[in-house]
Amino acid sequence: MNVMPSLSDQNKRLIVGSPLRHRNIALALSAGLLALLGFAVVMLSALLSGMRPDAAKVFLFSLAAASVCSVVPLLILWWLDRRERESPWLFLFAFLWGGLIATSLALPINHAILADVGQWVAKNPWIRAQLGQNAAHLLGAPIAGPLVEEITKGIGVLLLFFLLRAEFDNMRDGFIYGAVVGIGFNWMETPLYVAQAYAQFGDAPWELQLGARFALFGLAGHAMFSGLFGAFVGLARQTRHWVVRLGAPVLGLLLAMLAHAIGNLLPLIVTLIEASTGKPQPTSPEPPQEYGLLEAWASASLLDLVVFLPFVALMLFLLWRSGLWESEVIRDELAGEIPDWVTPEEYDAILCQGVFQTRRVHRADQLDQLWSDKLVNAQHELAFRKRRVRDDAGDPESDQLILIWRDEIRRLRTQRDWARTPSAMS
């Protein structure tokens, strides 16, 4: 007896209501993504080929270390997503968009902005006298980073929103997608900074960069910036008010840019304070201070908590609110389902489920635990889809994706009954 879903069934879930259902649109988008990926490969290859062989080795080693560090925030996000699992392929797309496409698009634009700022500084030598040799970067980073990088990362979140709307339900989904994009960006940016410092000063600041850029378990910096934008895009998805639907993504992007700008302004503020006290600025670039990995991580985490406290608090509040919304939707939308899809015992467990809890069904053995995760996920997907159809003034009883999820629940129950028969266990 074949109880596994076909690949076509899995694809149907992803592209319900998506422009990707249309062949010509799907081909055009695929060609566009391949072109962007090719551009990213060319940009990164040019970057590597422009480095000395020893600097290229430092970059690759740093990339491997950043890959290990990125596992921690990804696991945290996977845990946060446990109530309604997204496809691992979407995680991969979001991560690679941030790590390859967003970085490669941002690099030349950032360099152009910094070059223009550098020319302006050259025409105003008094600025260099006040800020030192690093004046162009101190002034340009708060402009280029927030404007360019938040837009290039945000495009990836918007692509998921518009192309795979069936997999984008609420603020939590948006936060997770945005944070994964940010983690991917951080994954690529970290080794670039390590290799750049090595090429300039002959010493690779592994501990400083890895500790600082993966502060707060990797959820500070780019993960938080893009996560905030994604959460507000998710708010636009879950609300019924058109004003919020239109305004929330704009507000989220502005908040992401503001948080990013505050982070990039800190070196400039420190330099201005030092200049006001009469401390002479260095006449040539100085190597970064040496830190141990744990020291750099702890000090950067504490600094991020202080500097970004309003944004961290907002992020936690949005996650908490998304949990309340999910619990409400699951309770309301599964209340009228027949026992084939939600049994009375399962609904009683739903009523007792906490905001950050995920119920299980039948824990007798490992097979039942895996089966339980799949069943609970399918029931939650069914609930979220029913709410989405109602919000769009549709008929839940005729919606294609609702029928698919009900068939999936029935298939899972059949799978469990078949696995428990004597013939299947012999």
Q: pLDDT tens across 238-251, in order? A: 888 889 999 999 99
Same domain, 214 and 264: yes
Sign of CA dihedral 373, 374, 375, 378: positive
Could you list the residue range(s) of the whole structural domain that residue 116 is in?
14-312
Confidence of residue 180 (pLDDT cuts 50, 70, 90): very high
Do 269 and 405 lie in a common domain?
no
Determine the average pLDDT of the residues in 347-368: 71
Q: Give the count of domains, the chain.
A: 2
| 25 and 83 belong to one structural domain | yes
- Higher per-residue pLDDT: 32 or 14: 32
In a domain, 391, yes or no: yes
Per-residue confidence (pLDDT) for residue 362, from 0 to 100: 60
**Cα separation of 218 and 210, whole Å?**
10
Domain check: are 24 and 124 in the same one?
yes
Q: For residue 137, give both structure tokens.
A: 């970067």
**pLDDT value of residue 423:** 46
Asked which of 249, 278, 312 is the last residue of a domain, the reply is 312
Residues 6+ apart with CB under 8 A from 1: 418
Claim to verify: residue 196 and residue 265 sit in the same structural domain: yes
Residue 1 lies in a domain: no
| Residue 355 sits in the same domain as residue 262 | no
Is residue 89 assigned to a domain? yes
- Asked whether the predicted pLDDT for residue 381 surpasses 70, the reply is yes
Q: What is the pLDDT of residues 22-79, one digit of tens each?
A: 788 888 888 999 999 999 989 888 888 888 889 999 999 999 999 999 999 999 999 8
Interval 274-287: pLDDT, tens: 888 877 776 666 77
Closest CA to 80 of 18, 171, 161: 171
- Domain-ending residue, one of 297, 312, 327: 312
Same domain assignment for residues 189 and 254: yes
Name the pLDDT band for 3 (thresholds 50, 70, 90): very low
Does residue 138 lie within any of the structural domains? yes
Instruction: Specify whether the CB–CB gap between 183 and 98 falls below 8 A.
Output: yes
Residue 419 banded pLDDT, cuts 50, 70, 90: low
Rounded to 5°, the CA angle 215-221-226 comes to 135
pLDDT of residue 45: 86
Within-domain flag for 25: yes
**What Cα–Cα distance (Å) separates residue 286 from each residue in 184, 198, 415?**
29, 12, 65
Average pLDDT, the chain: 87
**pLDDT: is 287 or 378 the higher one?**
378
**The pLDDT of residue 215 is above 90:** yes
Region for 277 from its dihedrals, namely left if φ exceeds 0, alpha if ψ lies in -120 to 50, beta otherwise: alpha
Residue 4 belongs to a domain: no
Q: Does 117 share its domain with 233?
A: yes
Q: Are residues 290 and 256 in the same domain?
A: yes
Residue 425, token pair as written in the block = 């266990």
Residue 425 resides in a domain: no
Dihedral sign, Cα of residue 46, residue 50, residue 54, residue 59: negative
Helix (H) / strand (E) element for 201: namely: helix 171-201
Say if residue 212's pLDDT is above 90: yes
d(CA 122, CA 135): 10
Domain identity same for 293 and 412: no
pLDDT of residue 297 exceeding 60: yes
* Residue 338: per-residue pLDDT: 86
The residue ranking higher by pLDDT, 311 or 132, is 311
Residues 307 and 339 in one domain: no
Res 111 pLDDT > 70:
yes
Tell me the pLDDT band of 174, cut-offs 50, 70 and 90: very high
pLDDT at 426: 41
Q: What is the pTM of this model?
A: 0.89
Q: Does position 401 have pLDDT exceeding 70, yes or no?
A: yes
For residues 272 and 397, membership in a common domain is answered with: no
- The model's confidence at residue 291, banded by pLDDT at 50, 70 and 90, is confident
Shortest CA distance to 151 belongs to which of 196, 197, 113, 199? Answer: 113
State the average pLDDT over residues 8-18: 64
Q: Is residue 8 a part of any domain in this protein?
A: no
